[in-house]
Structure 1
Amino acid sequence: MKIAIGNDHAGTDYKMSVVEFLEEQGHEVQNVGTDLSDSVDYPDFVHPVAEAVSSGQADFGVLICGSGNGVSMTANKHQKIRAALCWTAEIAQLAREHNDANIISIPARFTSQPQAINIVNTFLNTPFEGGRHQRRVDKIACQ
């Protein structure tokens, strides 16, 4: 799979761990996040991830910031994006199964790095259930 990943300064260390994990799993990773700990504006890194996923250049996206909220809000401004803020593997599983989320947002200040990797792994390996959930997902996008 092709995975686009972006982060702000609060998520740099987490991003490095997640990228290493994804590459070990054989995924192609497009890193558009900062590699530094200097303060940056997260939308500058979110928009390229959301555009890659919405255009089909990436299968999924991973966003990491301090709370996960800002990156999720920004990504969800894009058409075809369903970004889910996930702080446990169970929430990531439900985001995929029930909401067909295509971007995961991880709060670095509220999870450990091993938890973040588990959350990403669960997210990428959980299929969308479809069925009754498809009807609801179809109603998310504004026409």
Structure 2
Amino acid sequence: MKISIGNDHAGPDYKNAIVAYLEQKGHQVINHGTNTFDSVDYPDFGHPVAIDVASGKADFGIVICGSGNGINMTVNKHQSIRSALCWMKEIAALARQHNDANIISIPARYTSIQQAVEMVDTFLNTDFEGGRHANRVHKIACP
């Protein structure tokens, strides 16, 4: 599986741990994140992830910023993106099962690195249930 990842200055340690985990599992990672703690603008790292997922270059995306909100809002500006802000693995599972989310947004200042890796694992290993959820997901796109 190909995974695109992007992060701002709040997430280099999270990104590095997640990338190591994904590569250990045999996934290919496209890294758009910063490696420093110097202040940067999260849209510069979120948009490339959304483009990778929307274009099919990546199967899923992971974005990380301090609260998870700013970068989540950024990637959700892209028409075919359904990014979910997750702070526990149960939310990550529901985002996939009920919303067919294709990007997970992680709040680095409000989760541990271990929680982040567990959420990514859950997100990538949970299937969309379809059924009654499919029509709802279809309605998310602007008419």
The two structures share one fold, judged by TM-score above 0.5: yes
CA distance in 1, matches of 2:35, 2:26: 21
Alignment correspondent of 1:21:
21
- Which structure 2 residue ranges, 5 or more long, are not aligned? none
Cα deviation digits, residues 76-107 of structure 1 (max 9, x gap): 00010000000000000000000000000000
Alignment correspondent of 2:72:
72
Structure 2-normalised TM-score? 0.99
- The percentage of aligned residue pairs carrying the same residue is 70
CA distance in 2, matches of 1:40, 1:58: 24
CA distance in 1, matches of 2:25, 2:71: 25
Question: How many positions carry a matched residue from both structures?
Answer: 143
1:94 pairs with 2:94: yes
Alignment correspondent of 1:140:
140
**Where in structure 2 are the equivalents of 1:11-90 lying within 5 Å?**
11-90=11-90
CA distance in 2, matches of 1:134, 1:11: 33
**Matching residue's letter, 1:131:** G
Structure 1-normalised TM-score? 0.99
The secondary structure found in structure 1 opposite 2:38 is coil
What's the offset of the Cα at 1:128? 0.2
What's the offset of the Cα at 1:71? 0.6
Alignment correspondent of 1:123:
123
RMSD of aligned alpha carbons? 0.4
CA distance in 2, matches of 1:85, 1:6: 14
CA distance in 2, matches of 1:102, 1:16: 20
CA distance in 1, matches of 2:141, 2:35: 33
What's the offset of the Cα at 1:61? 0.1
CA distance in 2, matches of 1:80, 1:27: 22
1:6 pairs with 2:18: no
The secondary structure found in structure 2 opposite 1:64 is strand
**Deviation beyond 4 Å, 4+ runs, structure 1:** none
CA distance in 2, matches of 1:58, 1:81: 12
**Matching residue's letter, 1:18:** I
